[in-house]
Amino acid sequence: MDAAGAAAAPASVETISMQAALNRALAEILTEDEKAVVLGEDVGRLGGVFRITDGLQKRFGADRVFDTPLAESGILGMSVGLAMAGFHPIPEVQFDGFAYPAVNQIITQLARMNYRSRGTMPMPVTLRVPSFGGIRAPEHHGESLEALFAHVPGLQVVSPSSPHEAYHLLKYSAARPDPVIFMEPKSRYWQKGAVDFDDSGSPLGSKVVRPGKHLTLVAWGAMVARCLQVAELAAEDGIDIEVLDLRWLKPIDAEGLAASVSRTRRAVVVHEAPLTAGLGAEVAALITQHCFDTLRAPVERVTGFDVPYPSGDLEDEYIPNIDRILFGIQRVLEYRRG
């Protein structure tokens, strides 16, 4: 069909970057919820180091979008206090590695206050964390902390993979009565994709972003796009790969995970964090628990290495690349028992 005869895209669908999708979501949250506030280093006048909050202070005022001192423990401590006072804070930690100084506040206060108060002090806090690598940044500007946060009772953890998911998952997270760690793949901020603003699909659980029949690739964040690239290459050799975007890293959608792997009977988990005690181990355990009778091979993990997340000049060696993922797929497909 030529361009003149092509069906017009729905008015609710736009092709925008993840940065723009997140910015629009924040603007709508601030418009719809008078108790919502955005805070963090440089999020106000500058609009954030990645410009996610660009223009929000001018539009909503400095009492609702405001800069904080360069103290992550203070940002999270302030957010806990604001939540106790009835506000809905959306703090930003400028880079994922900068979250380390705030781990005390995140674990001992943010995650526990609702439990400690027997439900009288909910913590509707959505902590935005530009996460993972891929931008060739210095030390502590690229990390993969999902296993750290997912291990903590009281926290929910989510990571979008596309502009569409970023928009809908952020709006859903900000409406939650519980603290959510919102891990944004910073390497994907400027990648464009279609966003259906009227999409009525559930923001909960995992999502099959490419159906297949020979093997399931499980990923989240920036690694979803890489796994889609791998699936296209594998298809040239007649290998039909299913790609599952986990989306929620806590709680993990065990039912959706099992449904996908039960169809393909093989699985490879891909993430940027180190292998040992990474979230892929939990995913592999769930697959084994729910799909033991149908699995044709052990679950393979393709991950970062057991070293500190490197600076930019070594990132390409550290982050799972297409070849490493293809080798992981090959090992699973060629596995033979005994």
Q: How far, CA to CA in Å, does 192 sit from each of 16, 43, 164, 198?
A: 5, 22, 10, 18
Query: What one-letter code names the amino acid at 203?
Result: P
Helix (H) or strand (E) segment spanning residue 146: helix 146-150
The amino acid sitting at 304 is G
- In the set 141, 164, 214, 271, the catalytic residue is 141
Question: What pairing do the DSSP bridges indicate for beta strands 207-210 and 65-67?
Answer: unpaired
d(CA 132, CA 315): 11
CA distances (Å), origin 255, targets 206, 262, 276: 9, 10, 25
Q: Where are the alpha helices (DSSP H) in 237-312?
A: 254-264, 279-291
Cβ within 8 Å of residue 117, ≥6 positions away: none
Distance of alpha carbon 19 from alpha carbon 22, whole angstroms: 5
Between vectors from CA 208 to CA 202 and to CA 211, what angle results, nearest 5°?
145
Please, are residues 241 and 333 in contact by the beta-carbon 8 Å criterion? Answer: no
List the beta strands (DSSP E) in 204-257: 207-210, 215-219, 241-245, 248-250
* 141 among known catalytic residues: yes
- Residues with catalytic roles: 141
